[in-house]
Amino acid sequence: AQSVTQLDSHVSVSEGTPVLLRCNYSSSYSPSLFWYVQHPNKGLQLLLKYTSAATLVKGINGFEAEFKKSETSFHLTKPSAHMSDAAEYFCVVRGNSGNTPLVFGKGTRLSVIA
Amino acid sequence: NAGVMQNPRHLVRRRGQEARLRCSPMKGHSHVYWYRQLPEEGLKFMVYLQKENIIDESGMPKERFSAEFPKEGPSILRIQQVVRGDSAAYFCASSPVDRATNTEAFFGQGTRLTVV
């Protein structure tokens, strides 16, 4: 079975400083990985997804993630945090065939301090 | 192309009543998933449906909960005889027919159920 572990439940950064949200996955085969963001009382929006075409994946709003098979990691980064980045971020893995359900990590709450 | 539409956005029910949550997938999407989010937790998978079929209900509680996705109309998540522990945000997601494992799911804004 697939699973993801988000290593930090809460990350706090100052505006303009880098963001690092950590995620490790467990899968018996090459996984499909995603990062979603959830703003307060809103739905979920896809930030980026790993397609196996490239290990460094660029997403929306300046976010990117690097797939590292040797470390079973898919950490989310952004060079410079903005106040509007404050939200809940979920690392997500999908099963080994199309349309199987997404499996969510517990989430990391990102706070951005002015 | 409208996104995934869920209604109502907020639902208040007294203990013992029934709750019906509706989800209209994106146009062209025939796969629907329901997730439940408790406070301070991630989303927990409940059920996966295609038109007129339940594909995977491994995350559904064995009692009081049911889901359907009829040939016509929205998908419905039904909770009978609600209890306070059912209070949560319920999210619906849809995806198109695609065998690629990297196909993302598109989420609605959720229904926040409060049981009083």
Q: What is the pLDDT of residues B52-72, one digit of tens each?
A: 899 999 999 999 999 999 999
Question: CA A61, A65, A71: angle at the middle one, nearest 5?
Answer: 165
Look at residue B102 and tell me whether its pLDDT is greater than 70.
Answer: no
Residue B104 pLDDT grade (very low, low, confident, very high; cuts 50, 70, 90): confident
Half-sphere exposure for B56 (CA within 13 Å, toward CB): 15
- B76: pLDDT strictly greater than 90: yes
pLDDT (average), residues B92-99: 80
What pLDDT sits at residue B98?
Answer: 64
- Pick from A7, A44, A51 the residue to mutate for testing the B interface (most B CBs within 10 Å): A44
- pLDDT interval class at B42 (50, 70, 90): confident
Q: Would you state the pLDDT for residue B101?
A: 59
Q: What are phi and psi for residue A71, nearest 5 degrees?
A: -105, 0
Residue A20 CA, chain-centre distance (Å), reads: 10
Distances (CA, A) of B67 to A102, B8, B53, B57, B75: 18, 16, 10, 9, 7
Q: Rounded distance, CA A65 to CA A35, Å?
A: 9
Q: Quickly state the pLDDT bin for B84 (edges 50, 70, 90).
A: very high
Does residue B7 surpass a pLDDT of 90?
A: yes
**Contact yes or no for B102 and A106 at CB 8 A:** no
A69: phi then psi, degrees, rounded to nearest 5: -65, -40
Question: Residue B79 pLDDT more than 80?
Answer: yes
What is the pLDDT at residue A111?
97
Residues of B in contact with A49 (CB under 8 A): 102, 104
To which H or E segment does residue B55 belong? strand B53-56
Residue pair A86/A19 in contact by the 8 Å Cβ criterion: no
- For residue B107, the chain A residue with the least C-alpha distance is A44
Q: What's the pLDDT at B111?
A: 96
Query: Would you state the structure tokens that stand for residue B67, as one six-digit string?
Result: 């889901």
pLDDT of residue B57: 93
Interchain pair B105, A43: CB under 8 A: no
Measured from the Cβ of residue B106, the count of other Cβ atoms closer than 10 Å reads 18
| pLDDT for res A36 | 96
- Residue of B41, B98, B110 lying closest to A98 (CB–CB): B98
> Are A102 and B33 in contact (CB < 8 Å)?
yes
B86–chain A nearest CA distance, Å: 18
Interface residues on A facing B, Cβ-Cβ cutoff 8 A? 32, 34, 36, 41-46, 49-52, 90, 94-107
pLDDT confidence of residue A99: 63
pLDDT at A53: 74
Q: Which residues of chain A have pLDDT under 70?
A: 95-99
What average pLDDT does chain B have? Answer: 91
CB B45 within 8 A of CB B35: yes
